Structure 1
Amino acid sequence: MEKYKCDVCGWVYDPAVGYADGGIEPGTAFENLPEDFECPLCGVGKDEFSKC
């Protein structure tokens, strides 16, 4: 599973870690995040993320 970085603020989603504050369990691939997932720092949607 690959990491994805927010193109706006640089926050990185690491699927090995997940995002506990957002209820995302470790091992959740970026592709499997909810469609309404937003960057926890700047609030943009999944379409504003790129593979690292």
Structure 2
Amino acid sequence: MTDLIYFEAFFEKKEAKAREKQLKNWHKEWKWNLIKEANPELKSIMIN
């Protein structure tokens, strides 16, 4: 199993797709910085 440590919520599917496309063009380090800013301890945020 893989833990969920970051997510973004959107009302519109097109907004989510645009953000996904944007993040796919980011460097790995930029993505990690985004994740660590929102979840500094990298705790799982999955709901059982």
Query: What's the TM-score, normalizing by structure 2?
Result: 0.23
Highest RCO, 1 vs 2 (Cα 8 Å, sep ≥ 6) = 2
The structure that is strand-richer by fraction is 1
Q: Report which of the two has the higher share of helix.
A: 2
The structure number with the bigger radius of gyration is 2
TM-score scaled by length of structure 1? 0.22
